């Protein structure tokens, strides 16, 4: 190999190194990072005296007693199909994953013989003598939030009218339905 070939190889290596350094310097110039004076975002918290910090409580909505007067048991039967996978609504219906719900309104929570309730539901039944319309409404909204530790895996019914319709349907699933509030 002669010296001219060696010079060409050395020149090519140097050209690649200089080119790489040049591209690095050029990219630093083009993509210069902007470093803020204070890192992160400032979270502004309203002071107690600030007028914007007053929060007015929203009303809970229409009470269950009023919603039950406008509730439809036939619509509740349609919504209750979600429940039918785990519960039966018929007289003498067998317990499934969940207890039979025939005559649930007015019955002691956790008190159906032959079904193994969670300890949370049994404790709730010791506090509350019976399932009232209000208790059922709150329980059906979010079972795990209302009775912490219940084994009921259902997420709940978010729409108040759906809950009222299901409660109206469950109320009718009894030999002698519990009277509606105001009857």
The pLDDT tens digits of the residues spanning 16-33 come to 999 999 999 999 889 887
Are 107 and 166 within one domain? yes
Q: Both 20 and 100 in a single domain?
A: no
Burial 68-86 (b: 16+ CB within 10 A, else e): beebebebbbebbeebeee
Q: Which residue has the higher pLDDT, 40 or 74?
A: 74
Give the per-residue pLDDT at 57.
Answer: 44
pLDDT tens per residue across span 116-155: 999 999 999 999 999 999 999 999 999 999 999 888 888 8
CA distance 115 to 108: 13
43 domain-assigned: no
Query: Same structural domain for residues 74 and 154?
Result: yes
Do 157 and 69 fall into the same domain?
yes
In the predicted structure, residue 54 carries a pLDDT above the cut 60: no
Per the domain annotation, does 112 fall within a domain? yes
For 127, the enclosing helix (H) or strand (E) is: helix 119-127
Task: Please name the helix (run of DSSP H) or strand (run of DSSP E) that holds residue 3, with its range, or none.
Answer: helix 3-30
pLDDT over 70 (residue 43): yes
Mean residue pLDDT of the chain comes to 86
pTM score of the predicted model: 0.65
Average pLDDT over residues 20-49: 81
Asked if the structure places residue 182 within a domain, the reply is no
User: In the chain, how many domains are there?
Assistant: 2
CA distances from 151 to 60, 98, 115, 117, 148 (A): 27, 9, 12, 8, 9
- What does the block give as tokens for 34? 């902007």
**Higher local confidence (pLDDT), 181 or 96:** 96
Task: Give the number of residues written for the chain.
Answer: 183
Average of per-residue pLDDT across 83-96: 90
The answer to whether position 127 is within a domain reads yes
- Report the pLDDT value the prediction gives residue 49, as an integer from 0 to 100: 56
Provide the pLDDT for residue 60: 56
CB 171: neighbour CB atoms within 10 A? 22
Domain that holds residue 72: 64-172
């Amino acid at each position: 190999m002669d010296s001219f070939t060696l010079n060409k190889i050395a020149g090519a290596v140097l050209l690649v190194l200089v080119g790489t350094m040049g591209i690095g310097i050029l990219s630093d110039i083009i993509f210069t990072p902007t470093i803020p004076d204070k890192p992160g975002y400032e979270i502004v918290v309203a002071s107690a005296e600030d007028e914007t910090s007053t929060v007015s409580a929203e009303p809970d909505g229409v009470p269950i007693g009023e919603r039950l007067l406008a509730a439809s048991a036939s619509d509740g039967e349609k919504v209750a199909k979600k429940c039918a996978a785990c519960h039966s609504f018929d007289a003498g219906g067998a317990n499934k994953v969940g207890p039979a719900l025939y005559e649930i309104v007015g019955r002691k929570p956790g008190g159906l013989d032959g079904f193994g309730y969670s300890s949370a539901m049994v404790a709730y039944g010791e506090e509350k003598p019976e399932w009232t319309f209000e208790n059922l409404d709150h329980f059906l909204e979010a079972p795990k939030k209302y009775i912490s530790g219940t084994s009921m895996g259902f997420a709940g019914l978010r729409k108040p009218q759906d809950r009222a319709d299901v409660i109206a349907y469950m109320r009718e699933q009894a030999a002698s339905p519990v009277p509606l509030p105001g009857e």
